[in-house]
Amino acid sequence: MIKFAVLALLYQHESHGYELSRQFGLTLKTDRDIKAGHVAVTLGRLKQSGLVEYEFAETDAAPDRKMYRLTELGLQTLRE
């Protein structure tokens, strides 16, 4: 379930892992809490599978963040 939830959230807009974990409960209207570490592991697996890719985004307030987005394969997987 988390795999497809992350893909669906990335379909809306590119994001970093912490934002995805925060948006999980808000967007999906669930009481289930998802930890940032779980999202990070899921993103790593999705990257290895070629479903997402990332670029580093420079920030002033925090270390550079990985901004994830869907690949064409990720979009196709989500649609299926």
Whether the CB-CB separation of 32 and 50 falls below 8 Å is answered with no
Residue 51 has a pLDDT of 98
Residue 30 has a pLDDT of 67
pLDDT in tens, the chain (80 residues): 789 999 999 999 999 988 898 888 777 666 666 788 899 999 999 999 999 999 998 777 767 789 999 999 999 999 99
Boundaries of every domain in the chain = 2-79
**Architecture (CATH level 2) of domain 2-79:** Orthogonal Bundle (1.10)
Partners of residue 10 on adjacent β-strands? none
pTM of the model: 0.85
Instruction: Mention every residue, 6+ apart, whose C-beta is less than 8 A from residue 39.
Output: 2, 6, 17, 18, 20, 21, 24
Residue 28 has a pLDDT of 67
